[in-house]
Structure 1
Amino acid sequence: MSFILLLLFFPVVTALLLLFFKHGIIRNTIVILSAVVIVSSSILLLVNVHGIENTTSIPSEIVSRIMLAIEVLVVVYICIVGIRQKRYLIPMLAVPQLVFLAYLELSASSHSVQIEGNALIAFDSISLIMALVIGVIGPVIAIFALGYMKEYHQHHPEIKDRSNVFFSVFFLFLSAMFGLVFSNQLTWFSFFWEMTTVASFIFIGYSQTELAKENAARALVYNLIGGLFITAAIGFLHYMNLPVSLGFFTVKSREVALLPAVLLSIAGMAKAAQFPFAGWLRGAMVAPTPVSALLHSSTMVKAGVFLIIKISPVFSGTLQGFLVAAVGAFTFLAAAFIAISRKDAKEVLAYSTISNLGLIVLCAGVGTAEAVWAAILLLLFHALAKALLFCTVGLVEQRIGSRSI
């Protein structure tokens, strides 16, 4: 439990420190030391509890209220951005989710269901593997970004240097991802889900060009749609007086869990850029290369397939599982054909990510133990390969000034 808390809160402390250091050896030292701590903690967590399924209950009321306060601030920020950019769909998607989740949190009935398996924090083999992917690849990309962002602003003097915000959001992103993979309670999961959405919005719009703002807004809309489906799943479980937790989605609960599982899988597909939600990920390549490496490898899109893998036991042998697998299969083939027709290296990698994620969704939709472990292995190897590929493309672009292949 101590390692989990460290992975959740240490990146937040790092993020707060980095806000005050835009350049220099102090910032670089903070990033490198923090990266070492996070990598070490994620490895030690896997070593100490590997193969052990466990759930941990912690006092929830204070933490939940803090989360609610943060979510209110985030939604206010989202609404201001949407209104300023005259994209009124953004507040229309964000506000209903906040209102409903606030109602659940503040009403006494939201705490009335106490059923086994409804623990707030849970970890199993899938969570530990995902935490290892986040905790190793993410910090390595952060170290790579130290040199890259310096050259990035030398090549693009017209772009305001907001490196302190960049690295601060980077570590907040890692914290949100750790929170997401260890959350068993769906309301907590939804909170961290939205935090990754907002972080990706800030990342994609980093350059503040019109194209960057447009693509960032598109990513925000698509992922808010996904969040809406998570809220709908929470509402259904609450209405049926069922556990509002990921631990509920097992083979034993298949009959009542299929509908919320479908809702959650749609949210996962939106985050994982499956067709018809694939447009936002291709647009994300306007961001600096470390952002692409992070989004495509250890965070964001992996959150989507992680969610589908977590609920996959419900889909085994069902029509709903077949439909999820069919979407994954179509995305896998269509994105692969699109990728081989592109000449921009980042665009090729973006569509290859979408294709690989489609294959993972296909395996999760099948829902058997063998297919699920195939999905996990694909997730693991794809994360490593795609991080290296994006970093390489970024370096080549800085050296020769082109991404054309």
Structure 2
Amino acid sequence: MKLPAPPTENSFRSPLHHPRVATVIGRWLAVAVLVCFLTGLFSHFTQETPAWLHIPTRPASLYRVTQGLHVLSGTVAVPLLLAKLWTVYPKLFAKPPWPPSREALVNILERGSILVLVAAMALELFMGYLNTLQWYPWPFPFKQTHYALGWIIIGALLVHIAVKLPLIRTHWRRTMADREQALEPATGSLPPAITGLTRRGLFRTAAGAASLVGISTIGQSVPAFGPIAILAPRKPNIGPQGLPVNRTAHDAGVVGVAADWRFTIRGPQQLSYTLAELQQLPQSRSDLPIACVEGWSQGARWEGIRIRDLLHLCGAPATSRVRVVSMEKGGFYATTELPPEYAADPLTLLALRLNGGELALDHGFPARIIAPNRPGVLQTKWVHRLEVMV
């Protein structure tokens, strides 16, 4: 029995595989990728700030907005990536030009950039989603790998755009021929898609799917959408004292606080306080959100002592760099640093109370750091020592 001939690019005659369709969906995907990349850069540099960069403390909710956009744009990119792949997959069956020529080299470069771009994006989105669930089934560090993949994606995307620029420019604007082919094909030369979709129908489907996953996720950082945030791993107002918890005291190895617990400051003068003595110091209030790298956030009312007041008490300048030491057993963030601009900000507290009550153990009892425009992983819980570094 004679086997059927293998498919070629011309075997796929659906109008959904037209370059105009790929260009339109590619524009949407590029916007999602660019927003995700830029907000991801901000998150990375906020956590690992290079010496030449100073992250501002205001707006106080800036990180809440950028990280919410980061996770939202990454989530929205998933259906857009699938739609983009659907429009261009017949290219996999195109035969490269032969013999070798300039056109063949461009074709190889195009295919190579697509391979790297698709593989890196698929891995990046998959890892990002598992990070929102705090599940890390791989042996390599998530943060560094996620950061490196972001640069690989941008590099591959720029190469891909450069190779396809003539085609993109041709189909960037809708032409009369595009309008005619977008209509239901009654007498046209192309048969309809197997699904029965027109181009306009595909655009609506892709936009609708992206909007649906976005709306069902954004509730983790926008309380108004909380009731319909079915895809969000965290929802507002659920947790001790009405605030979600990422890392519990049990996970951190903090099983309780000894009766003789003391808070110490190592600076020009070494100071030591019991919890009762800390509560007798002048107290301040800050209305700040907890904004986690997983994308969820929620505002709360915090009360405690300003860090700059504690620095003044120990004789250190308000612009000192401060090391924060937690009672947490191990972990990447058991010790963190407060840059000078954060230590001096009047909103930065050694918080003792949350939403009108004493801190719950899972929220960092007896004391934790809360500062404006900071990721949740740097809002150190179970603090028992501050060390003035400069």
Q: TM-score band, normalised by the shorter chain?
A: under 0.3
Report which of the two structures shows the higher radius of gyration computed on alpha carbons.
Answer: 2
Please identify which structure carries the higher strand content: 2
